[in-house]
Structure 1
């Protein structure tokens, strides 16, 4: 499916253009809501309050009270991923999250924040989680723990990329083979995947950050 001509720039990759487009939509939406806050909200404000309220509940339930400072980050990631996923379903548009670079940027940010918070909360003791419960296991546990942590951003990126790109490929093949008979269940499934992958990415991000701050460390 070709990109819209007015969004295509020969000097900027398409996924970057669509990423900026999604960012602009989120910023404009936030400004509209902030500038038109009412005691008796309208439809748009109602929708945004439900979305933000739901995300706040998800963060508090997953991370506990100490997760409140991370709500802006998690909410931004969730809204960006969801809107990016859904954008790929609109004819003529591309999906920013169907590119590894976009996903890696978010995953690396979460990865860095995870360990920054771990060190901030536990200090030098944070390093002990990489060494195992007893000293003689340290030579074995250190490489295992390092690999497991380094794989996290890779896993976050590839999981989201695979599901988004795979779904688009299926739909494109169906459009080519049967342009007038594209099964509605496939489109519904793709829509569900958009929401599920947003939830998975957000939950894993919260679990990684929250896990680094646990007292067990």
Structure 2
């Protein structure tokens, strides 16, 4: 049986040699697939043999999923429930991607701009797809502003504001995770024992905060597209 880490290394080298991807890009792709595989395995284990009175992994996952669902309802209202799977998937993916970088020798996919940009683009497209689905062509009123004679100016301002959202989402997450990864590597290189531990503890906090911020902004953006334009 092939060891998972050896297979991951083989997959990484295959990407570099066949597709001529940079080593950083290959790391991001390989560890992204690893995160997706971990989430899939955990979900299968948690839902295998579901019990009325949960225990173990099922209980742990129900607490996490229930917490995210409550946050979605509190932030977006009852209309936000259909978008809970999207929000929860993004939140769990970002969180696990952040945390996996704390394991020595592992690379967090969110420390690569391509990964964070992909997540941000999904949120951006989902926001406007939901808006058009909910309001049809009347969704354009969101870009017109409250005063009709200011509509031409407001339209361009709103478009620029909406286009800046995926940029800010991706750069914020990438900057925090990449910066922490660099600092951690420097500390491990200089003093490999004990000193990096406080940075790793801080890394856990940063991982949770950044996943929460990304999820919260995604909910706010989608909630804005669900509202009626005034």
Give the TM-score of the pair, scaled to structure 1: 0.93
Deviation per CA, 1:83-137: give whole Å up to 9, x if none: 0000000011110111111111111111111111111212222112212222321
Q: Does 1:23 align with 2:14?
A: no
Any stretches of 5+ residues in structure 1 without a counterpart?
Answer: none
Which of residues 158, 163, 176 in structure 2 aligns to 1:150? 163
Partner of 1:72: 85
How many residues are paired up? 214
Which of residues 10, 14, 18 in structure 2 aligns to 1:11? 14
Cα drift, residue 180 of structure 1 = 2.1
Instruction: Map 1:37-76 to 2 at 5 A.
Output: 37-76=50-89
Q: Which moved more, 1:178-187 or 1:157-166?
A: 178-187
* 2:151 match: secondary structure: helix
Cα drift, residue 184 of structure 1 = 3.3
* 4+ aligned runs moved over 3 Å, structure 1: none
State the alpha-carbon separation in 1 of the partners of residues 6 and 59 from structure 2.
34
Which of residues 171, 176, 184 in structure 1 aligns to 2:184? 171
Cα drift, residue 23 of structure 1 = 0.4
Which of residues 133, 139, 145 in structure 1 aligns to 2:152? 139
State the alpha-carbon separation in 2 of the partners of residues 109 and 36 from structure 1.
33
* 2:107 match: secondary structure: coil
State the alpha-carbon separation in 2 of the partners of residues 42 and 128 from structure 1.
49
State the alpha-carbon separation in 1 of the partners of residues 31 and 199 from structure 2.
24
State the alpha-carbon separation in 1 of the partners of residues 142 and 38 from structure 2.
41
Q: Which moved more, 1:98-107 or 1:34-43?
A: 34-43
Instruction: Map 1:62-211 to 2 at 5 A.
Output: 62-211=75-224
Q: Which moved more, 1:163-172 or 1:136-145?
A: 136-145
RMSD: 1.4
* 2:52 match: secondary structure: coil
Cα drift, residue 183 of structure 1 = 4.6
* 2:102 match: secondary structure: coil
Any stretches of 5+ residues in structure 2 without a counterpart?
Answer: 16-25
